[in-house]
Amino acid sequence: MQAPATTRPLVVSMGDAAGIGPEIIARAFERGALADAVVAGDAAVLRRAGAAMTALIDEPADLAAVPPGCLPVLAVPGLPEGLAALPLGRVDARAGAAAARCIECAVQWVRRGDAAAVVTAPVHKEALAAAGVPYPGHTEMLQALATAPGTAPPPVRMMLANDELRVVLVTIHVALRRALDLLDFDSVLQTLVITHESARRFGFAAPRIAVAGLNPHAGEGGLFGDEEVRFISPAVQAARARGIDAEGPFAPDTVFMRARRGEFDFVVAMTHDHGLIPVKYLGVEQGVNVTLGLPFVRTSPDHGTAFDIAGRGVADPASLLAALAWARRLSGAAPPAG
């Protein structure tokens, strides 16, 4: 899983100013993991989080002039005033608005070709909503930002991955009852196509994809639900007719173990928790969120803003470090020296 090498930096969005995003960014910088990156954010917030020395930049050319030991911070226009004075661990519309602006700026950099990939620190969905941001999370916002004027949004999917599992979801941030309504032949087939095409771009010559059923024991031929018979199995067969190495649907309580043992490269799951619980059980600190279907690479830590520990100095940057590593791997960005 290695793309051609590039020397463009990664661009990291700051996340919610009241959460642990700025703190884990500062810790990653201390460990030398951001030597090839620039942070789209507020310098004062990052200094409060522990990044003692920052250098504001406006353009990629400014990176060459950043002194050693300084965290390069992209000057994001339109940020609310006083972000560094916001109480930690509380929902605030100003933090939500700032997080959205940082994401927008990061996407502008990568779409212009100034950055190799986007790595996003955690945002808080309530803060985004309080700021009037019309998206429930990163995935939907990034999809909108990747849409050219006058064109349809690109179909995207969430993949959560670690060194043992790669799980792609058909439905994501909707109520479970709504997710069941969204599942059909087209959504499952589209997920298989996106997974296959993304895996090929990431370096898998012939990705092996397992499909998890929706119902217990994958429905037992319709005894415990007929979704597998009506549209999941037909979608798998349609994908195979296109040359995609897809199998299933398999019982969802065992297919993840089979993938973990190496039988499959990816697992497609029908709903958010159905697919993410197995990955997160193996360790949130190694989990990485990857958005498939975008015209650029985007990764993120596998955790939220952790308001309960924000500012206490105990936030673990491990998942951010993993997200940075995956962004380099998938985009071909050169790793930091040392």
Give CA–CA dist 161/319, Å, rounded.
11
- Residue numbers in the chain where pLDDT is lower than 70: 1-6, 333-338
- Report pLDDT for 5: 40
Same domain, 105 and 127: yes
Domain-located, residue 11: yes
Beta partners for residue 290, in sequence order: 159, 299
Query: Would you give the distance in Å from CA 308 to the centre of its chain?
Result: 22
Where is the domain boundary, 282, 312, 327? 282
- List Cβ neighbours of 234 (8 Å cut-off, separation of 6 or more): 185
Same domain, 130 and 183: no
Domain-located, residue 261: yes
Domain-located, residue 310: yes
Burial of 243 (0-12, 13-18, 19+ CB in 10 A): exposed
Q: CA gyration radius for the chain?
A: 20
Same domain, 178 and 241: yes
Q: What are phi and psi of 299, to 5 degrees?
A: -130, 165
Identity of residue 233:
S
Judge whether 143 and 118 are in contact, CB under 8 Å: no
Identity of residue 246:
A
Same domain, 8 and 126: yes
Domain-located, residue 157: no
Burial of 95 (0-12, 13-18, 19+ CB in 10 A): buried
Judge whether 270 and 212 are in contact, CB under 8 Å: yes
Domain-located, residue 295: no
- CATH code at position 251: 3.40.718.10
Same domain, 143 and 174: no
Beta-strand pair 266-269/297-301: unpaired
pTM surpassing 0.85? yes
Q: Centre a 10 Å sphere on the Cβ of residue 176 and count the other Cβ atoms it contains.
A: 11
- Report pLDDT for 336: 43
- Report pLDDT for 61: 85
- Report pLDDT for 226: 93
Same domain, 13 and 72: yes
Domain-located, residue 54: yes
Handedness of CA 106, 112, 115, 117 (dihedral sign): positive
Same domain, 20 and 118: yes
What's the mean pLDDT when you consider all of the chain?
Answer: 92
- Report pLDDT for 333: 55
Same domain, 312 and 273: no
Domain-located, residue 290: no
Same domain, 277 and 311: no
Same domain, 266 and 235: yes
The count of structural domains within the chain is: 2
Domain-located, residue 292: no
**What is the residue range of 91's domain?**
1-152+300-338
Beta-strand pair 157-161/288-292: antiparallel
Beta partners for residue 158, in sequence order: 291
pLDDT tens readout for residues 244-300 = 999 999 999 999 999 999 999 999 999 999 999 999 888 777 889 999 999 999 999
Same domain, 137 and 214: no
Same domain, 195 and 80: no
